[in-house]
Amino acid sequence: MRARHKIRAPRRGLSHAKTDDFDSIWDVLSVSLNEINTKNASTISFEELYRHAYKIVLMMRGDDLYEKVKQLEQNWLKSNVQKLVTESISGSLVRAQNSTDAQDQSSERREAGEKFLAALKDAWEDHQLSMGMVTDVMMYMDRMIVAGQKPSIYATCMALFRDHVLNSSVRPESSLSVTDVLKSTILFMISLERSGHIIERPLIRHCIQMLEGLYETPTEEESSKLYLTVFEPALLEASKEFYQAEGQRLLQIGDATTFCRIATQRVAEEQERCRYTLAVTSEPKVLELLDEHLIRSNIEEVVNLEGTGVRHMLDHDQLDGLQNVYMLNARVDKKKQALTNVVNKRIVEMGKEINNSSILLPQAAAAAPSSGKDGDGEKKTEKGKDKERPQNQQTVSAIRWVDDILALKTKFDGVWEKAFGNDQGIQSSIGASFSNFINMNSRSSEFLSLFFDENLKKGIKGKTENEVDILLDNGIMMLRYIKDKDLFETYYKKHLSRRLLMKRSASMDAERQMISKMKMEVGNQFTQRIESMFKDMTVSEDLTANYKEHIARNGDPDQKPVDLEINVLTSTMWPMELMANPKDGAVQLPCIFPKEIDTLKSSFERFYLDKHSGRKLSWQASMGTADLRATFVRSTGKTQRYELNVSTYAMVILLLFNEIPEGESLTFDAIKERSRIPDHDLIRNLQSLAVAPKTRVLKKDPMSKDVKPTDKFLFNNDFHSPFVKVRIGVVSGGANKVENQDQRKDTEKKMNDERGGSIEAAIVRIMKQRKTLTHSQLMTETLSQLSVRFVPDVNMIKRRIESLIDREYLERVGEEPPTYGYVA
């Protein structure tokens, strides 16, 4: 424990002797305070004043001191400052109060205004400074007596400034207060700036700061700032009027580009103004007004302005303009409705144009005099290359249709990226528009498949991998827009099978790439069959090789071997309707092959069934080709050999002539009987053998273009060709073309059957899982399951449900609402 020290008593009142009563100390203080007010404080000691104030407080007279100081400052403001400020208000300012025309006597008013603002600013700053000093001196008083009961002396003095300077009337006789003049002056300045003049921003900024620093109430809540209560409403009102007028004015100019440019500028201006001249807190409010009155109420009109609106911009690639429109629209509407609408409309319009032109073009071509039946490729050579066949023309236009759409898409992608800031909403709506008009063209699936066909056959030759990739990607993108994907699948399979069997595909790699892209886009199920087509092709290659080996080992060496290259196809995976005769439902007896071929056929059948028992091979002669070596005996006795590459049917026909004596003829019916080639194919093959000028291996009697059942044919020994190898194409198998009306109806019918199956399968799947379901729920589920592949017809679903009930897969279990149950 430390020893206890004696605590020294504090010595009180070192200078008690000098001053110990309130009045004499106050006298000293008041003199000094006035010195402070007149900015003459450098001689005064802070410590002395502080000590005096301290003492008064210690004497328990703090309240008196507070009142005294307040009184003193009030007198000072009333007598000096107020006069100074009101004097700076010139008559013109007071008069201008009533005139609303800003441009009127603007320079005079402006000058007077600036003078007034400067005076007010000075008065305010002086007041602030001296009050700061007074507060410092009275610090002890503030701490002791004011805390919690009264506003600090500083706040009180600020309130005094408000009451006695700002709220005082300008002229004794008028009710106009200084605040009113201040308000109108600042608004006047702002309107000057809005109309392009340069104003003294810092000055206004100071006055605004003053308003921000003063409060209506002694408690000084944020919301009671003079700025908010007095000035801001007026500012907003003025802005509103200004932008309403501005909107009207700009609309009258009637130029969307100008409107958007100016509006964008205005936005930036207001932002800057609020930040540097006025108060930051007003920024959102002013901008809100601007959005409301300048943009929102006008944007639709602007976007739709004839000749300069968005449509014009789109047509002329005015990306800047579009960007402005986008920004403005984005300000007022999250969904950018106005802009999106116009863009969509335009896309659909342009799309329709493309659709129409793809229809018009072939019509125009068809109108041109070009006689003959559709789809005879051989005749093309006869007529000369310059005149293309209507159907061919249609194919070209189909491909052009796709190209046009892709170009359009690229264009809008560019616009979207550069002008619309990669906006998600707009992207999806652009997509929807594309899908909209693409699906308007009922043949879009077919056209797109033709586009792929064309490109995979020839288009990609000489292109780099990258280019091919882009090409395919573009195609896939269009596929995304097509609703009836199953239709596309059908066409694609058809075209693909031709490419594969006729070996027309330019690159297997590209084909595979295409499949994998489709798989990514539409799903596994979609490409399953197409993939298995590829598998069949590879298996067949092996098979052919194996068979060759087999023949080489076991074959009869004496017999002239016939090379066989075979493709064994799984019938469910390939579009069999291509090969089977589609004409009538009657069983078509298989074609009778010549002896040589028949042996080969049975030999292969044995070979194949040895390996795979229980399978049935059916021979599709219509898709094959054969190489023949033909000997022509000229009338001069010379012989000429040609190698003919013909279709399987044509081979069968030609070999028939081997069996008859030289110079004899066969009638159409005789050929038909001996070969059992279907009429349709027979006619076409005979046409290419006997009618086409360059490949006239047979002579026909009478010589006409059409093949009639009574026509006679005989071997043309005078056949002549500059080449040793002659390729005799058959029309039907040739190129993939746009279907004609009948074919399309056929495809559609088949499509509908297939869809019926898919719908039933989907319904059963759903019901099996859910057991019972109401009608509407079942509808929605079915629609959502199927929408990946196509958009089913509601009536068709209804019919399918009925049919399933009839066949006792489903039953009705309730009427209200209609409900179905699954019958196991």
Partner 1 sequence: MADSASEYVTLISHDDYEFIIPRSAACISGTIRRMLDPSSKFSEGLTGRCKLDDMSGVVLEKVCEYFCYHEKYKDQTNVPDMDIPPELCLELLMAADYLDT
Contacts with partner 1 by CB under 8 A lie at 5-11, 14-15, 39, 41-51, 54, 129, 132-133, 136, 139-140, 143
Q: Would you say 59 or 319 has its CB closer to partner 1?
A: 59
Q: Would you say 13 or 709 has its CB closer to partner 1?
A: 13
- The gap between the terminal CA atoms of the chain, to the nearest Å, is 100
Q: Smallest Cα–Cα separation from 475: which of 436, 448, 435, 437?
A: 448
Q: Would you say 20 or 111 has its CB closer to partner 1?
A: 20
DSSP three-state, residue 588: coil
Compute the least distance from the CB of residue 190 to partner 1, in Å.
31
Compute the least distance from the CB of residue 261 to partner 1, in Å.
47
Compute the least distance from the CB of residue 156 to partner 1, in Å.
18
Q: Would you say 8 or 385 has its CB closer to partner 1?
A: 8
Compute the least distance from the CB of residue 46 to partner 1, in Å.
4
Q: Would you say 136 or 746 has its CB closer to partner 1?
A: 136
Q: Would you say 139 or 359 has its CB closer to partner 1?
A: 139
- Token pair listed for 658: 């081997």
Q: Would you say 44 or 660 has its CB closer to partner 1?
A: 44
Cα separation, 451 vs 103, in Å, equals 66
User: Parallel, antiparallel, or unpaired for β 639-647 and 725-727?
Assistant: parallel
Compute the least distance from the CB of residue 69 to partner 1, in Å.
16
Compute the least distance from the CB of residue 33 to partner 1, in Å.
12
Q: Would you say 54 or 619 has its CB closer to partner 1?
A: 54
Cα separation, 155 vs 218, in Å, equals 7
**DSSP of 386-426, one letter per residue?**
TS--HHHHHHHHHHHHHHHHHHHHHHHHHHHHHTSTT-HHH
Compute the least distance from the CB of residue 4 to partner 1, in Å.
8
Instruction: Answer yes or no: are the C-beta atoms of 775 and 483 closer than 8 Å.
Output: no
Q: Would you say 6 or 553 has its CB closer to partner 1?
A: 6
Residue 565: partners with Cβ closer than 8 Å, 6 or more residues away? 544
Compute the least distance from the CB of residue 120 to partner 1, in Å.
21
Cα separation, 670 vs 682, in Å, equals 12
Centroid of chain to Cα 14: 86
Q: Would you say 46 or 276 has its CB closer to partner 1?
A: 46
Q: HSE (CB half, 13 Å, CA atoms) of 149?
A: 9
DSSP three-state, residue 675: helix
Q: Would you say 138 or 730 has its CB closer to partner 1?
A: 138
Compute the least distance from the CB of residue 62 to partner 1, in Å.
14
- Token pair listed for 419: 């002008």
Compute the least distance from the CB of residue 72 to partner 1, in Å.
18
> What is the signed CA dihedral for 527, 532, 537, 543, rounded to 10 degrees?
170
Residue with tokens 């403001």: 77
Q: Would you say 134 or 686 has its CB closer to partner 1?
A: 134
Q: How many CB atoms sit inside 10 A of residue 686's CB? A: 22
* Amino acid (one-letter) located at 455: N
Q: Would you say 209 or 716 has its CB closer to partner 1?
A: 209
Cα separation, 677 vs 683, in Å, equals 9
Q: Would you say 45 or 195 has its CB closer to partner 1?
A: 45
Q: In the 8-state DSSP scheme, what is residue 621?
A: G
CA 514 to each of CA 509, 525, 729: distance values in angstroms, whole numbers, following the listed order:
8, 15, 28
**DSSP of 502-547, one letter per residue?**
TT--S-HHHHHHHHHHHHHHH-HHHHHHHHHHHHHHHHHHHHHHHH
Cα separation, 112 vs 92, in Å, equals 7
Q: HSE (CB half, 13 Å, CA atoms) of 573?
A: 18
**For residue 701, what are the β-bridge partners?**
712
Q: Would you say 45 or 571 has its CB closer to partner 1?
A: 45
Angle between the N-to-C axes of helices 508-522 and 465-481, in degrees from 0 to 180, rounded to the nearest 10: 30
List the strands of the sheet with 725-727, edge to edge: 625-633, 639-647, 725-727
- Token pair listed for 62: 């703090």
Centroid of chain to Cα 808: 47
**DSSP of 295-308, one letter per residue?**
IITTHHHHHH-TTT
Compute the least distance from the CB of residue 148 to partner 1, in Å.
17
Q: Would you say 8 or 641 has its CB closer to partner 1?
A: 8
* Amino acid (one-letter) located at 136: D
**For residue 684, what are the β-bridge partners?**
none
**For residue 267, what are the β-bridge partners?**
none
Q: Would you say 16 or 535 has its CB closer to partner 1?
A: 16
Q: Would you say 137 or 690 has its CB closer to partner 1?
A: 137
Compute the least distance from the CB of residue 140 to partner 1, in Å.
7
Compute the least distance from the CB of residue 28 to partner 1, in Å.
14
Q: Smallest Cα–Cα separation from 201: which of 116, 295, 107, 274?
A: 274
Cα separation, 807 vs 801, in Å, equals 10
Angle between the N-to-C axes of helices 390-418 and 319-332, in degrees from 0 to 180, rounded to the nearest 10: 60
Compute the least distance from the CB of residue 40 to partner 1, in Å.
8
Compute the least distance from the CB of residue 142 to partner 1, in Å.
10
Cα separation, 647 vs 498, in Å, equals 14
- Token pair listed for 194: 């809005």
Phi and psi, residue 335, nearest 5°: -90, -5
Cα separation, 491 vs 400, in Å, equals 18
